[in-house]
Amino acid sequence: MDDQAEFIVKPDPDDPRLTRRVEGIDQDGTPITTSVTVERPLTLFLNGREIVTMMTIGDYPEYLAVGYLVNQNMLLDDDEITAVEYDPDIDVVVVRTARQTNFEDKLKKKTLTSGCAQGTVFGDVMEKFESVTLSDDVRLRTSDLYALVKKINTAPSLYLGAGAIHGCVLCRGDRPLLYVEDVGRHNAVDKIAGYMYLNHMSGEDKVFYTTGRLTSEMVLKTVQMGIPILVSRSGFTAWGVELARKAGLTLVGRARGRRFIALAGEHRIVFDADHAQVEDEPEHMQRKGAR
């Protein structure tokens, strides 16, 4: 099977809206033309009230809008979305629900986090975090992990073509299901959360992969989505590790080629791969991983 056929959602690096060709010079003073990632504002409304303006690459705005509201606990599991309306001419997306939400109380408790472009979490996020029980039935086989990393790293993406972007992938076993990118890692997470919410997709048997750092925000959002395993090609923060251990989340970082480090939830890892059969990551990809 073609690996790219496995993705339900995947990046489209050929979309002319997402990159721009820019002229400059290189380290030798030689004129060059290179691709750069485009970012644009997207303003989110919930039931007629403006919530936030996000800087985003502009693809999958409906998933981003719904996922943002879900991860901020402004949409609950029993809320009924009656419409998601996107107007590309004015860069606005409106989410409408059957009943009034409690977003005004949420906005009063907003705090800034360390996420790129100042992602936000709210004061009651920890309450939901502490109530989640992650599945202990799923296992992360190292053979699946190595296969996932290879498929993701070789998939066509804006990251490979232009850089300056984060990627997140929802996986099951050795199959990547949803692959999205954005200028902020929290936006990429929210796109996946939005797809899961709109399609009633459970996270209990899934693996979440990110190119970004394993921060507290990444751990919180992964746990909120009910996903028991979080993997990154990047490193950890101390609070991210502490929260992962508290939630029973399997936390795997620095996953490049045949290498990785697990700092929480090690009991879900099954070491079934023969390292001699695993290709290490090319040097140029290792350099790109340091971001």
In order, the DSSP letters of 206-272 are -EEEESS-B-HHHHHHHHHTT--EEEESS-B-HHHHHHHHHHT-EEEEEEETTEEEEEE-GGGEE--
pLDDT of residue 280: 74
- This model's pTM is above 0.85: yes
Terminal-residue alpha carbon distance, the chain: 32
Torsion angle of C-alpha atoms 3, 229, 55, 78, degrees rounded to 10: 110
Q: Which residue has the higher pLDDT, 46 or 108?
A: 46
* 6-38: pLDDT as tens digits: 799 999 988 999 999 999 999 999 999 999 999
CATH of the domain at 281: 3.40.140.10
What would the pLDDT profile of 245-285 be if each residue is shown by its tens digit? 999 999 999 999 889 999 999 999 999 998 777 777 665 55
pLDDT for the residue numbered 118: 43
Residue 275 and residue 140: Cα distance in Å, rounded?
A: 16
Q: Provide the pLDDT for residue 87.
A: 97
Which has the closest alpha carbon to 228: 206, 197, 201? 206
pLDDT for the residue 130: 81
Q: Please tell me the total count of domains within the chain.
A: 1
- Domain membership of residue 234 (yes or no) is yes
Provide the pLDDT for residue 113: 44
Could you write out the DSSP letters of every residue in 2-52? -GGGG-SB---TT-TTTEEEEEEE-TTS-EEEEEEE--EEEEEEETTEEEE
| 3-class state of residue 140 by DSSP | strand
Task: Note the pLDDT of residue 114.
Answer: 39
Residue carrying structure tokens 């954005």: 182
Q: Is residue 110 part of a domain?
A: no
pLDDT average, residue stretch 176-190: 94
Residue 57, in any domain of the structure: no
134 three-class SS: coil
Quote the pLDDT of residue 104.
59
CA torsion through residues 131, 135, 141, 146, sign? negative
Q: Domain for residue 58, yes or no?
A: no
Residue 203 included in any domain: yes
Over residues 190-235, the pLDDT tens digits come to: 999 999 999 999 999 999 999 999 999 999 999 999 999 999 999 9
Q: Distance (Å, rounded) from C-alpha 41 to C-alpha 44?
A: 10
Position 251 in a domain: yes
30: in domain: no
Q: Locate 8 and state its tokens.
A: 């339900």
pLDDT tens column, 85-136: 999 999 999 999 998 876 655 565 554 443 444 444 445 567 678 889 999 9
Tell whether the model's pLDDT for residue 142 goes beyond 90: yes
Domain for residue 84, yes or no? no
Domain limits at 146? 140-289
Mean pLDDT of 139-160: 92
